[in-house]
Amino acid sequence: DAKTTQPNSMESNEEEPVHLPCNHSTISGTDYIHWYRQLPSQGPEYVIHGLTSNVNNRMASLAIAEDRKSSTLILHRATLRDAAVYYCITTESTGTASKLTFGTGTRLQVTL
Amino acid sequence: NAGVMQNPRHLVRRRGQEARLRCSPMKGHSHVYWYRQLPEEGLKFMVYLQKENIIDESGMPKERFSAEFPKEGPSILRIQQVVRGDSAAYFCASSVLQFGQMNTEAFFGQGTRLTVV
């Protein structure tokens, strides 16, 4: 699995957009980019994933750089409930045994 | 469709006892993954199982730890002769396909918090 690099922490005001960056400079052409988040005292929760094109769902948007060496998770309007650790993960898509390898993630703090 | 169910949510064991952690994947999911999270740390992969088979156990300690996913019933993570360093949150995840395949997302349980006293 490709290694990812994220800032340790970020802060945001409530109801403002948040852009969480992730670098994955060693990503291969077939690796997917996944984002999960972990709220306090809970299990990780799927947020979004993509391969090459930008993706949108009800939770967030994923912007993937043209060279795929970086991506940005966008929360359009942060709420207090979005305070969590956000993990950027890449996986292989070869169909062989694969797993999600979590890094240290970005701890997002949301304030009023 | 119930989510991934883990039990117990909290487990206290004395040093030297055995701990059994159970994970019932979501209906229709045949891929199960176990992770361990030490206090204030990230999640570390332990083992990946499909029904009746261990696919990848590269993250499992060589001794005292074992996992199974029988044809019928939940997946079990077993820790024999627990030590204080085993105190952690253990999370189980399930998916309908392997993680590397398109449109696969993992569903995690709420975890079992093991405390060894």
- Strand ranges, E, within A24-105: 32-38, 45-50, 55-56, 61-64, 70-75, 84-91
Contact criterion met (CB < 8 Å) for A96 and B91: no
Q: Count A/B contacts: CB-CB distance under 8 Å.
A: 65
Confidence of residue A39 (pLDDT cuts 50, 70, 90): very high
Give the torsion sign (CA, B59, B62, B65, B66). Answer: positive
Residues 5-44 of B with CB under 8 A from A: 33, 35, 42-44
∠ CA B82-B5-B91, nearest 5°, is 45
- How many angstroms away from the CA of B40 is the closest CA of chain A? 10
Mean pLDDT, range A55-72, rounded to an integer? 94
Q: What is the mean pLDDT of chain B?
A: 92
Q: Cβ contact (<8 Å) for B99 and A98?
A: yes
| Residue (of A15, A20, A12) closest to A47 by Cα position | A20
**Residue B109's pLDDT band (cuts 50, 70, 90):** very high
Residue A74 has pLDDT above 70, yes or no: yes
Q: In this structure, are residues B23 and B107 in contact, taking their beta carbons and an 8 Å threshold?
A: no
Tell me how far apart the alpha carbons of residues B117 and B105 are, in angstroms, rounded to a whole number.
36
| Residue B99 dihedral angles phi and psi, to the nearest 5° | -60, -30
